[in-house]
Amino acid sequence: MAETITIDPITRIEGHLRIDVTVENGKVTDARSAGEMFRGFENLLKGRHPVDANQITQRICGVCPASHAQASALNLDDALGVTPPENGRLIRNLMLGANYIQSHILHFYHLAALDFVDITKILAYKGSDPKLLKVKAWVKAQVGTGRATAAAPFLPRYEGAYIEDTDLNLAAIAHYVEALEMRRKAHEALCLWGGKMPHAIAIFPGGASERVTADKVASYASLIDEMREFIDRVYIPDVCYVADAFPDYFKIGRGCGNLLAYGTFAEDAEGKEKLLPPGVYLDGKAQAFSPDKIREYVKHSRYGSPSGLHPSEGETEADVHKKGAYSWLKAPRYDDKVVEVGPLARIGVAHVTGASRTISDLVNKVLKRYNAGVSALFSTLGRHAARALECKVVADRCAAWALQLKAGKPVHTAYEIPEASEGMGLTEAPRGALGHWITIKKKKIDRYQCVVPTTWNASPRDDKERLGPIEQALLGCPVADPKNPLEPARVVRSFDPCIACAVHTVSPAGRTLGSFRVF
């Protein structure tokens, strides 16, 4: 008998995402991903001064504003016809790189790892680590009094299979605490060049505003070295421990099998060479990327605007009661294909195209460790592995970029606002391909459109009824207990959706089977 499980909203992500899955014979046979938030920033920007976009679009997200700052700055660079000097380019890379590091560490330890780590094992701890003793006392108090809801974000949780090894669980809990400190240091590193975090103030068209000094370079390099040590010593091994404990997740959560990467971290003034290269992987073949092939469809989205528009012509006309619509996300497609974006896409594209020897070497080491082929990357664990490897690649390169800065050299190129112009800013947020498009008329913003990573990954069905990447990744996912849908949650969170905190389960007829809150 088929039954529908609704997770609304799914927890430990940014924003509000609803997931509906139909389960039959213990496996997901259908899925729907529904963004529950109307963004509308595009409408707020109309009539504004073009440079306002750089600050306003950062407010789209408090987790990755540095990515929107980058996309907006590139968008305005293009529209205003300005190129940052060498220091400006490097400073932008250093800011975005620090944001990548904190975001990837945040995702694994503070969002996704709790799907695998058994926090109750802390009750068996016999050691003397003050941090672990504090966590033990806290969890023991909540469990002992029955007030589990007060132990968020560790409890309450789904019942199910977690890591059994007590020592591994204790190490993971200790690393959870250590990761908080690493995230703080990453924010501090970004603030050296951005002024503050979230919502940096020192990036805008033409480059950046913070001057390069030896003290700032030394401070950034020192912070990055601490994070690099954590990534090598803790982060990557912990991802391997999870993979060792749950190898089946190399076969669960495949998704659409197509990848898209805009590329990011410019290595030259024109941005032609990038640390993470652009590219597309469609139907098993690598292709060059062309922004002209992007379209947005809205048949099942709560928008009244025309379907199939390129983002440069995009419209944001809300239609709350639109028949057949179930999401506030549009359905972007590339060359009429469903594509996944994010760390897996970036690492996958770099690997299959041979564009990065460094990345390919790291990928091959992972595949050799698990005696797996490239297809294993297309999975729940593949996304976690790609994110960890990318974190290392970016952190290592940030250390080198910092040493390329030249004190006393310009960080910014002057610009003028044209009477009319168009621009496009393509970059990669930690969660995936991020694009901004602008049209300027009478020196004001006439049109501004953003297509964010989770619009790609959590998109609903398109006009041809093809499921979005997360929807496809859920197909075939095992569900051991419909009242504890831990397995689908693991798949969804592997994408790190940015859209989030009560769960209820319903039958196909609509009868509520249970309602509970899950962290």
Query: Could you read off the pLDDT of 369-381 as tens digits, one per residue?
Result: 999 999 999 999 9
Per-residue model confidence (pLDDT) at position 150: 54
Residue 134 binned pLDDT confidence (cut-offs 50, 70, 90): confident
Per-residue model confidence (pLDDT) at position 154: 73
Q: Is residue 337 scored above 50 in pLDDT?
A: yes
Question: And the tokens for 499?
Answer: 């859209």
Per-residue model confidence (pLDDT) at position 143: 64
Q: Is residue 510 scored above 60 in pLDDT?
A: no
Q: Is residue 406 scored above 90 in pLDDT?
A: yes
Residue 149 binned pLDDT confidence (cut-offs 50, 70, 90): low
DSSP state of 480: S
Neighbours of 365 (CB within 10 A): 10
Per-residue model confidence (pLDDT) at position 226: 98
Per-residue model confidence (pLDDT) at position 151: 62
In residues, how long is the chain? 519
Percent of the chain with pLDDT over 90: 81
Is there a contact between 519 and 155 (Cβ–Cβ < 8 Å)?
A: yes
Per-residue model confidence (pLDDT) at position 9: 80
| pLDDT tens per residue, range 388-405 | 999 999 999 999 999 999
**What is the distance of C-alpha 128 from the center of its chain?**
36
Q: What is the pTM of this model?
A: 0.93
Residue 138 binned pLDDT confidence (cut-offs 50, 70, 90): confident
Residue 502 binned pLDDT confidence (cut-offs 50, 70, 90): very low
Q: Which of 52-61, 425-434, 505-514 has the highest mean pLDDT?
A: 425-434
Write the CA distances from 187 to 15, 90, 184, integer angstroms. Answer: 21, 17, 5
Residue 147 makes CB contacts below 8 A (sequence gap 6+) with 141
By CB neighbour count within 10 A (0-12 exposed, 13-18 middle, 19+ buried), where does 243 fall? buried
Per-residue model confidence (pLDDT) at position 63: 82
Per-residue model confidence (pLDDT) at position 140: 76
Torsion angle of the four alpha carbons 36, 42, 48, 52, in this order, in degrees rounded to the nearest 10? 70
pLDDT average, residue stretch 473-490: 96
| pLDDT tens per residue, range 241-291 | 999 999 999 999 999 999 999 999 999 998 999 999 999 999 999 999 999
Residue 87 binned pLDDT confidence (cut-offs 50, 70, 90): very high
Per-residue model confidence (pLDDT) at position 461: 98
Going along the chain from its start, the domains and CATH numbers come out as 3-118+162-516 (1.10.645.10)
Percent of the chain with pLDDT over 70: 94
Neighbours of 252 (CB within 10 A): 20
DSSP E strand boundaries for 8-151: 17-24, 27-35
Per-residue model confidence (pLDDT) at position 110: 93
3-state secondary structure of 420: strand
Per-residue model confidence (pLDDT) at position 514: 44
Q: Is residue 505 scored above 60 in pLDDT?
A: no
Phi/psi for 416 (5° steps) reads -130, 150
Q: Which has the closest alpha carbon to 173: 134, 122, 129, 107? A: 122
